[in-house]
């Protein structure tokens, strides 16, 4: 038998099966599905399976075969499709639920990791800051004033040494940021962040709850940089750039170029500097301290304003700092 004869035979069988299905469907229509002999359903199912097999054979031989509407049981197909769609939908929902669960678990694990890292930094910072206070002012407790310039410089030198370990920040009312760089310049002036500080008084608050500890500095008024033609006596501070030992204007610093000795020079590696022209005060404490709790901002701000008003450090004004609110996360490892 030639290949074409095989094709013809399969095509003929397909026609026969389709005619058979047409007969069975007429019988079902006449008898009704409820009253029809069960054998008709089995015969329809077997015939459709044969049609499916024949179409598969012909298509494997490269013969194009159209599908006939009666080749499948549409009611069964719809039920299967509905069931499959429901299964797919359920699977998608379960998959999304698993994804959400996994994402939530990842988020929780990430949060736990972050919380643990913060707690580790918290303990390291407060222990390092406590070490600075113990080394600098042995025996001190509560609000303690540095008795002389040597003590002030000892405290500041130890802060400079353990700056990173302390995670040192400065706080000033509602403003705060990292206290780096931190070193002594000429003429006993200290650079803290970009503040040029002439420190004339220093108080420390040493306490058993280490995260409550801080240092308070009184900064004497500094002279203007002498590079601006201003007669504004109401100015509180003044800013400039610092480049190779020379002060340049803030505008030149921002532009990245300055006129120096009659020449325009690029000053991209210049540093910003600020001087307080009136009495000023800054708190020093670790980043993860009670001073950095937003709930305490207004209390610290009011104390800062009171210090500006009286112009010197008074332990009575500082008293509310004893009862600043401790952030809840700080008690996680208690």
DSSP 8-state assignment for residue 162: T
Task: Give dist(CA 136, CA 205) in Å, integer.
Answer: 13
Confidence of residue 118 (pLDDT cuts 50, 70, 90): confident
Q: Is the separation of the CB atoms in 221 and 237 below 8 Å? A: no
| The predicted structure's pLDDT at residue 334 | 57
- The answer as to whether 79 is a domain residue is no
Task: Give dist(CA 191, CA 76) in Å, integer.
Answer: 84
| The predicted structure's pLDDT at residue 22 | 80
Q: Is the pLDDT of residue 333 over 60?
A: yes
pLDDT tens profile 121-132: 999 999 999 999
Mean per-residue pLDDT for 208-212?
A: 92
Closest by CA position to 330, among listed 129, 163, 126? 126
| The predicted structure's pLDDT at residue 196 | 96
- The answer as to whether 35 is a domain residue is yes
Strand partners, 191: 183, 196
Is this model's pTM higher than 0.75 or not?
A: no
For the chain, percent of residues with pLDDT exceeding 90: 53
Secondary structure element (H or E) that encloses residue 284, with its range: strand 280-286
Say if residue 35 is in the same domain as residue 152: no
3-class DSSP assignment, residue 266: strand
Task: Name which of 3-12, 213-222, 293-302 the model is least confident about.
Answer: 3-12
Cβ neighbors of 237 (< 8 A, separation 6 or more) are 274, 275, 276, 277, 278, 280
| The predicted structure's pLDDT at residue 305 | 94
Q: Is the pLDDT of residue 1 over 60?
A: no
Task: Name which of 8-12, 51-55, 99-103, 144-148 the model is least confident about.
Answer: 99-103
Mean per-residue pLDDT for 28-49?
A: 72
| The predicted structure's pLDDT at residue 80 | 47
Confidence of residue 204 (pLDDT cuts 50, 70, 90): very high
| The predicted structure's pLDDT at residue 3 | 72
Which one of 72, 95, 127 terminates a domain?
72
Residues belonging to the chain: 334
Sheet of 271-276: strands edge to edge? 182-184, 190-192, 195-197, 271-276, 237-243, 246-249
Mean per-residue pLDDT for 166-175?
A: 90
| The predicted structure's pLDDT at residue 90 | 74
Number of domains in the chain: 2
Which one of 25, 55, 72 terminates a domain?
72
Largest CA distance in the chain: 118
- The answer as to whether 294 is a domain residue is yes
pLDDT tens profile 267-305: 988 999 999 999 999 999 999 999 999 999 999 999 999
Closest by CA position to 179, among listed 282, 107, 97? 282
Which one of 46, 72, 98 terminates a domain?
72
pLDDT tens profile 63-86: 888 888 888 776 654 554 565 566
| The predicted structure's pLDDT at residue 74 | 65
Say if residue 59 is in the same domain as residue 150: no
Task: Give dist(CA 181, CA 178) in Å, integer.
Answer: 9
- The answer as to whether 40 is a domain residue is yes
Q: Is the separation of the CB atoms in 44 and 73 below 8 Å? A: yes
Q: Is the pLDDT of residue 213 over 70?
A: yes
Strand partners, 239: 274
Rounded to a whole number of angstroms, the distance between the first and last alpha carbons of the chain is: 91
Enclosing domain of residue 31 = 3-72
Cβ neighbors of 133 (< 8 A, separation 6 or more) are 140, 155, 204, 206, 213, 215
């Amino acid at each position: 038998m030639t290949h074409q004869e095989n094709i013809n035979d399969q095509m003929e069988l397909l026609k026969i099966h389709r005619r058979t299905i047409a007969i069975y469907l007429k019988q079902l229509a006449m008898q009704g599905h409820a009253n029809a002999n069960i054998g008709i359903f089995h015969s329809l199912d077997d015939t459709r399976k044969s049609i499916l097999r024949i179409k598969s054979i012909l298509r494997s031989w490269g013969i194009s075969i159209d599908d006939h509407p009666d080749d499948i049981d549409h009611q069964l197909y719809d039920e299967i499709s509905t069931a499959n769609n429901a299964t797919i939908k359920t699977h998608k929902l379960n998959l999304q639920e698993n994804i959400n669960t996994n994402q939530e678990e990842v988020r929780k694990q990430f949060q736990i990791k972050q919380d643990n890292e913060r707690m580790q930094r918290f303990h390291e910072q407060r222990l390092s800051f406590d070490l600075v206070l113990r080394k600098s002012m042995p025996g001190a407790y509560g609000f303690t004033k540095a008795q002389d310039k040597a003590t002030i410089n000892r405290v500041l030198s130890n802060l400079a040494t353990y700056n990173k370990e302390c995670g040192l920040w400065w706080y000033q009312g509602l403003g705060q940021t990292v206290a780096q760089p931190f070193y002594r310049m000429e003429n006993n002036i200290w650079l803290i962040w970009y503040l040029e500080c002439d420190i004339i008084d220093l108080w420390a608050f040493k306490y058993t709850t280490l995260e409550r500890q801080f240092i308070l500095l009184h900064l004497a008024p500094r002279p203007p940089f002498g590079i601006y033609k201003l007669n504004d006596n109401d100015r509180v501070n003044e800013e400039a750039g610092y480049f190779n030992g020379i002060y340049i204007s803030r505008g030149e610093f921002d532009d990245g170029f300055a006129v120096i000795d009659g020449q325009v020079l690029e000053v991209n590696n210049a540093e910003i500097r600020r001087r307080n022209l009136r009495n000023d005060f800054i708190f020093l404490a670790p980043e993860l301290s009670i001073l950095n709790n937003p709930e305490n901002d207004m209390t610290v701000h009011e104390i800062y304003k009171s210090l500006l008003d009286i112009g010197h450090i008074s332990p009575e004004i500082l008293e509310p700092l004893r009862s600043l609110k401790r952030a809840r996360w700080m008690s996680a490892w208690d």
